[in-house]
Amino acid sequence: MTDTSLFALTGRIALVTGSTQGIGLALARGLAKAGASVILNGRDKGRLAKAAADLQADGATVFQLAFDATDHAAVKDAVDGFEAETGPIEICINNAGMQHRAPLEDFEPEAFERLLRTNISTVFNVGQAVARHMISRGRGKIVNIASVQSALARPSIAPYTATKGAVANLTKGMATDWAKYGLQCNAIAPGYFDTPLNAALVANPEFSAWLEKRTPAGRWGKVEELVGAAVFLSSDASSFVNGHTLYVDGGITASL
């Protein structure tokens, strides 16, 4: 086996939740270029079809699963159905997530509950559904998308910070329970990336100036710069990496 073959994903099927745009779509594209067939997921069938056509135009093998990742029963039905009708899901990227900004003292409880469902429950729902099949096969890769906010906090996003801290710890729990069955469960913690979720911040000159000064790399990240970490954690190259959160952040968590 050559060194590069350790990173090959040829013949494997990867599910990426929340993959119609931003980080999810970039990761799906990157896994496809590494040889995987990818399952795109979202709730909007129109956006899902558009994203699938975009990847197929680049030569990717793409499947579409339109389900709400916050709905445990719907997730189980979708995953079980795909496994029975199409093939094994050998890689799962739990990327679905959202942000809501407000001062903590004014944070609406409904918004807090939405964050919990979208950022934490989805990781549990999809992770459990795919793991049940992976366990029976004795192998599988689960990669959860955490955040620098798994370790840090900023004003107006305290509940988001709580959810991403939970993602990092749920990742440890997955590894603790499932490593004995041959699964590797890890997380990627992106720093500040130019995505639709961060569009308002990217467009804010004051914030961008602060970020460039605060980040040792001196700039926003590009979503394509997350692909290498995703391929590594999805491949045989990470066969003894488990319960780890890999920060891809330009050095922001390393520097005061």
* Residues involved in catalysis: 160
User: Which pairs with CB-CB distance under 8 Å and at least 24 residues apart come from 121-125?
Assistant: 121/69, 121/70, 121/72, 122/17, 122/18, 122/69, 122/70, 122/94, 122/96, 122/97, 123/94, 123/167, 123/170, 124/170, 125/69, 125/70, 125/71, 125/72, 125/75, 125/76
Give ∠ CA 126-76-235 in degrees, rounded to 5.
Answer: 40
Beta bridge partners of 245: 187
Task: Write the CA distances from 87 to 38, 47, 212, 229, integer angstroms.
Answer: 12, 24, 44, 25
DSSP 183: E
Whole-number Å distance between alpha carbons of 151 and 156: 16
DSSP label at residue 202: H
According to DSSP, the β-strands at 183-190 and 91-94 are: unpaired
Nearest of 84, 81, 44 to residue 66 by alpha carbon: 44
Whole-angstrom Cα distance, residue 65 to residue 49?
A: 10
As a whole number of angstroms, the distance between CA 74 and CA 211 comes to: 39
Q: Which residues contact 117 (CB under 8 A, 6 or more apart)?
A: 70
Find tokens 């079980």 and name the residue: 80
